[in-house]
Amino acid sequence: MNYAIQYIFIALFISMASSNLAQAEPSPHANEQLEVTADPSKIAADAAEPSVDEPNAPKRLTLVLGGGGCRALAEIGILKVFAKNHIPINYIVGTSAGAIIGALYAANVPLEDIEQMAYSGKLQRAVTPNVTLSVLTYPFFRFLYLFIPKPYAGLTTSAKLEKFLHTKLPDDFKDLKIPFAAVATDLGSGNTCMISSGNLCKAVAASSALPLLVRPVTIDNLIFIDGGIKANLPTNCAQLTAADIMIAVPADSPIRNEQKRKFCSMRALGMRVADIMEAEIDKYRWKEADLVIYPKIDMPMFTTNEADIKRGIASGEDAANAALPRLQELLKKKKTIVKTKP
């Protein structure tokens, strides 16, 4: 994997995380705005299959998939355990890489195929901009922009990712097998947006558009960038799905003690700082979930190494298997029906 991309990503993530941490408060809802690009009542209706106000009615489960680059491949392992144990998923909400994995699964793409996309590197190449080509052609385009409108800033567009997604996903959200929403950041207002209708591939690309690397994505006259800037683990958005149970899956690396000598490398130091900040940001969202499945991910944010990918997916399976008794307990509990006076 191109180290230049990793260095740029690290620098961008540290900058964004610093802003997020400065604003972080004990209450994750403090001073926060959330926009939805679909009718909230429709989101709730999509999440609720037969909505029956009975204690023994099936629980509605929303799965929240966090962003984290290639570390989100651990979410494949979690989905494998869910499928094996027939855990019903009524709604999926994903950010960035979690939106890509979530959309593929919601479209009924076999998990074996998603896994193979990762092992072959197709998935990683689809989201990786060609930095070298962009830098080499920049002088030409800078001259060209004297005569044509200048696009939004970024080394490349989301076209490569959208082209890849079009070969795997339906055109519209309404054609998915499982209701799904992609979380992105509205660059104009600064709000977190939950996109659940319209052009599916463009919405997923918007959720994954890392600023400066990828140009903002335009949807309905709004411009969107990566949802991880404000909601890397979008449990706040998932609350709109009227779920009985919310399961959150962070895709960041657990913070462990490391040998000091390791940090003589600029890359290792940058990755460590990014890891610490990402974990700190995500933990503010944990309290909004009924259950957090936290894989012990030990892999880089960007990799095509087969051993890394295998280890990442296995970490998701291990975490899901460990959480399975608690999840099954939540599914068996009777609903608490609150009736209000007319």
Q: Quick: pLDDT tens for 218-263.
A: 999 999 999 988 888 999 999 999 899 999 999 876 666 666 676 6
Residue whose structure tokens are 């449990």: 235
Q: Is 63 helix (H, G, I), strand (E, B) or coil?
A: strand
d(CA 6, CA 4): 5
Q: Is 46 left (phi over 0), alpha (psi -120 to 50) or beta?
A: alpha
The average pLDDT across 23-45 equals: 49
Mean residue pLDDT of the chain comes to 80
d(CA 208, CA 183): 9
pLDDT in tens, 87-135: 999 999 999 999 999 999 999 999 999 999 999 999 999 987 665 555 5
pLDDT at 179: 97
Smallest CA-to-CA distance from 47 within 289, 253, 246, 292 is with: 246
d(CA 222, CA 193): 11
Here the tokens at position 314 are: 């296995």
Sorted by sequence, the CB contacts under 8 Å of residue 25 that are 6+ apart come out as 31, 284
Smallest CA-to-CA distance from 155 within 216, 84, 103, 244 is with: 216
Other beta carbons within 10 angstroms of residue 10's beta carbon come to 21
